[in-house]
């Protein structure tokens, strides 16, 4: 499994940097976003360092599916009962800031409508 010692999300996955984790298993970690854009704002990351969604390979298909299913489970557990949004920013034009694949899970009163 690939790991980048300079990647903040790899360091969170390795336990080197603290995070408010809400889920952890052999492949995925989920934690609260430190700059939430919604009442519920979680990040789901794979333990494996995959820089962007565009770098995912066919062997990652099950992992990507697990991320989507985990998003639904965590959104419900954290009170996003009326719906939620999932976002994967990819590359500079896609707004990606941390180059480790991650899925935003946002719920609550539609904060993305603010602009």
Q: Is 102 a catalytic residue?
A: yes
Domains, the chain, with CATH or none: 8-114 (3.30.428.10)
What lies within 8 Å, CB to CB, of 112 at 6+ separation is: 37, 38, 85, 106
State residue 5's pLDDT score: 85
Question: How far is Cα 111 from Cα 60, in angstroms, rounded to an integer?
Answer: 31
Question: How far is Cα 45 from Cα 29, in angstroms, rounded to an integer?
Answer: 5
Q: Express each pLDDT in 13-28 by its tens digit.
A: 999 999 999 999 999 9
Q: Express each pLDDT in 35-87 by its tens digit.
A: 999 999 999 999 999 999 999 999 999 999 999 999 999 999 999 989 999 99
Question: How far is Cα 80 from Cα 32, in angstroms, rounded to an integer?
Answer: 14
Global pTM?
Answer: 0.93
Please pick, among 78, 100, 102, 104, the residue that the annotation labels catalytic.
102
């Amino acid at each position: 499994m690939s790991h980048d010692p300079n990647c903040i999300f790899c360091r969170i996955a390795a336990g080197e940097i603290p995070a408010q984790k809400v889920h952890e298993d052999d492949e995925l970690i989920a934690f609260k976003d430190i700059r939430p854009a919604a009442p519920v704002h979680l990040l789901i990351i794979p333990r494996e360092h995959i820089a962007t969604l565009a770098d995912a390979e066919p062997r990652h298909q099950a992992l990507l599916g697990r991320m989507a299913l985990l998003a639904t489970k965590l959104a419900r557990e954290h009170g996003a009962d009326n719906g939620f949004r999932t976002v994967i920013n990819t590359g500079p034009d896609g707004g990606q800031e941390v180059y480790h694949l991650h899925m935003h899970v946002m719920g609550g009163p539609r904060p993305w409508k603010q602009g």
